[in-house]
Amino acid sequence: MCGVSRSGTPTRAERVHAELRADILAGRLRPGARLPFAELSARYQVSMGVAREALTRLTAEGLVESQPQYGFRVKPVSAEDLRHLTEARCAIETLVLRQAFAHGGVPWESAILAAHHRLERTPQMTVDDPDRISDDWVVAHSAYHLALLSGCPNPRLLDVATSLRDSAELYRRWSVPLGQEHRDIPGEHRAMLEAVLAHDADAAVAVLAEHIQHTTDVLLETSADEIDDATTA
């Protein structure tokens, strides 16, 4: 069973799970990559049983999938699912943001300013693993986007928007290490804040939609063998 030993140090299974998870989220093991037991055992210097235990946990977490007769692989990027998710997010989140502009007021603006302050001062990448997004940044990033939407008075719309954002989390994490050279994420967040403080709903909606779409574009620009497109599967 995974966990820590009585001495408080991680077991081999716990260590491998953490290292394999970090390699997936950092993009070092690419979307759709096969995960043969023998290669994992050599890479992480553990038995195949320990590797299987780590893969089973990661499957439950949605980062890995098991294919009958083929074994395990990193969850692939589904181009069709990503496009559908992006279309839904752009439609719903921009609608919610417009509602927030209409009803949020000064308390809403103050919450966004505070959330942006925290996000801007949180390192995006992990100090000892510069290919992987910092967990603190993930929390601050989520809080900022939720603050943007929080001025909407319709809880049903907020629930749908939040659910769609949660569904995009893995794609979002992959887009950063795979596309660091192609975008200015802090600049995109700052542009949203500036539009809010300027009371310019049209500009804020445009920036948010472009921000969401950019994540999708980065992932779809990865090589064709990393995309599990339903039209070619």
Dump pLDDT digits (tens) for 11-39.
888 899 989 988 887 778 888 889 998 89
Distance CA 209, CA 69 (A): 41
Q: At what angle do helices 135-149 and 79-103 cross, to 10 degrees?
A: 50
Dump pLDDT digits (tens) for 94-131: 999 999 999 999 999 999 999 999 999 999 888 888 77
148 with 46, same domain: the answer is no
152 with 44, same domain: the answer is no
DSSP state of 125: E
CATH assignment at residue 112: 1.20.120.530
Percent of all residues in the chain with a pLDDT value above 70, rounded to a whole number: 88
Nearest Cα to Cα of residue 198 among 188, 187, 190:
190
26 with 94, same domain: the answer is no
Per-residue pLDDT, 113: 97
Per-residue pLDDT, 182: 67
Would 3 be classed as within a structural domain? no
User: What residue type is 160 in one-letter code?
Assistant: V
Percent of all residues in the chain with a pLDDT value above 90, rounded to a whole number: 52
70 with 97, same domain: the answer is no
Ranking 7-11, 37-41, 45-49, 109-113 by mean pLDDT, the lowest is 7-11
CATH assignment at residue 36: 1.10.10.10
The answer to whether residue 60 scores a pLDDT higher than 90 is: no
Confidence of residue 4 (pLDDT cuts 50, 70, 90): very low
Per-residue pLDDT, 178: 63
Decide: 31 and 226 in contact? Cβ < 8 Å: yes
How many domains are there within the chain? 2
The answer to whether residue 2 scores a pLDDT higher than 70 is: no
Would 5 be classed as within a structural domain? no
Dump pLDDT digits (tens) for 170-199: 788 777 766 655 678 899 999 999 999 999
The answer to whether residue 156 scores a pLDDT higher than 90 is: yes
The answer to whether residue 141 scores a pLDDT higher than 90 is: yes
Question: What value does the mean pLDDT take over residues 3-14?
Answer: 60
Per-residue pLDDT, 130: 78
Looking at 59, 74, 89, the residue that finishes a domain is 74
Confidence of residue 5 (pLDDT cuts 50, 70, 90): very low
Give me the chain's average pLDDT, please: 86
Per-residue pLDDT, 63: 85
Positive/negative CA dihedral, 125, 129, 132, 133: negative
Would 231 be classed as within a structural domain? no
Domain that holds residue 49: 12-74
99 with 184, same domain: the answer is yes
Would 4 be classed as within a structural domain? no
This prediction's pTM: 0.74
Would 68 be classed as within a structural domain? yes
Distance CA 167, CA 85 (A): 8
Distance CA 46, CA 106 (A): 56
